[in-house]
Structure 1
């Protein structure tokens, strides 16, 4: 079926140097502009972000510094992209929280006021989450084909979760599991140790402020040191540890940070 369009609808996706909207830059952009007459116009280009691409990010999207060293910068193609998107509404998956803000930041750096006030934003992820509920009641209905009576009472929710896990293992045992980026991370087995490893693989602390990178090393997952090795930051900037210990961070995060610091100190 054709989309019912009054204006062009530009589906787009970005690959970037990271997930910090104000700091990170675009390394690849792909736009599929759907026209009201049913035709499509596609534009895809790699971009030089004018900053190093962290290795842990390259492992996700496969783009490294050498792949973009001769590519144009965003500023060099900004007018071309703005012209291509002129009069078009914007669409994509999870674009409202990330892709749109990053794109607007890049246009502003290039001194182009990319106005959103007259554009519609269509986010397929929001439709997915609205139509396919992620509540316990929805999971109970989906996996067990039962209606959860007494939802939000502790005992009913607990018994329903017990039934859901049993049904999940019955349905998925032996199947490969992928993370949100489509990377295979293991096989689902009826083994709680292995389920724990699959579902908690990257987190170091419970708040997710420190995570494991693809090499199994602890890296910060927030702020100015996002993606950097915790041990390197603590070595080069000792005051960062004191700042975190004084800050409004969970006690578990502070405990894990202290464990890493003591471990590295004892290695000396």
Structure 2
């Protein structure tokens, strides 16, 4: 391996009960240690997480609660894992966002002396994304084996994009051939965005939620009750007009829903409101 090491380097991968860094636990750990002289050693164990494995995780990993029921817990393995890693630097694929934080959480959870600091972290996924360009020119070269000669001319870029799209449809037999499915597939991540900016999302039941900041994942209706000023802040802040339009429509729906509920609970008040409205109309 064309790599200059001054101390041990450990590549790691974890399988976990789920994807929540703060709450989920390790069910399988693999460590490969490379020493400065090029020698390699491995550590691999399945782990009893002491909490249920989610259905999604079991389907992806093939590891079920039954398979790890008799395996040691992380508490029981922590000393061995820490000793194997030692003062090594760490690396993995998407490890800076997931594997390393999860490992740190496990050690912190049991107040182990293992320290995650004073190490270097190498995320292979980030290297991949930075080294392999994601520009239109790179896509044109990859899919069509052609070089762009007039980049940033709108018409030319559009023609190139269409060529790339056609090449993708030919290259991937399993890729959907209709717009609805292609739209779903090409959405960034798996998030059901409600607006183009990704500031609002939509639940399966159709409720609009905030998709950023301190209220991410909470419905607009819920926050309108607990922090009514949040809507006004978004309306005054520098968000896209389309986002504001959709948020305004959602607030209108919420107000109508609440009005209907009040009228159903108090029909007499409803009649009074109607009479007051008629009186105001005749006064004018």
TM (norm. structure 2) is: 0.65
Aligned alpha-carbon RMSD (Å): 3.4
The match for 2:79 is 79
Q: Secondary structure at the match of 1:96?
A: coil
| Structure 1 residue 99, shift from structure 2 partner | 0.7
**Structure showing the higher helix proportion among its residues:** 2
Equivalent residue for 1:188, pick from 151, 175, 181: 175
Aligned residues of 2:18 and 2:56 also touching (Cα < 8 A): no
| Structure 1 residue 194, shift from structure 2 partner | 5.1
CA distance in 1, matches of 2:95, 2:190: 24
The match for 1:146 is 147
TM (norm. structure 1) is: 0.68
CA distance in 1, matches of 2:114, 2:184: 44
Q: Secondary structure at the match of 2:14?
A: strand
Unmatched segments (≥5 aa) in structure 1: 175-186, 213-219, 224-238, 259-268
Q: Secondary structure at the match of 2:49?
A: coil
- Distance change (3 Å), C-alpha of 1:191 and 1:100: same
| Structure 1 residue 135, shift from structure 2 partner | 2.1
Aligned residues of 1:27 and 1:47 also touching (Cα < 8 A): yes
The match for 2:17 is 17
Aligned residues of 1:7 and 1:35 also touching (Cα < 8 A): yes
- Distance change (3 Å), C-alpha of 1:129 and 1:49: same
CA distance in 2, matches of 1:209, 1:114: 39
- Distance change (3 Å), C-alpha of 1:119 and 1:148: farther
- Distance change (3 Å), C-alpha of 1:22 and 1:197: closer
Q: Which region of structure 1 is more displaced relative to structure 2, 137-146 or 30-39?
A: 137-146
Unmatched segments (≥5 aa) in structure 2: 213-217, 235-242, 254-284
1:36-61 CA deviation, whole Å, 9 max, x = no partner?
A: 22221111111111111111221111
**Aligned residue pair count:** 221
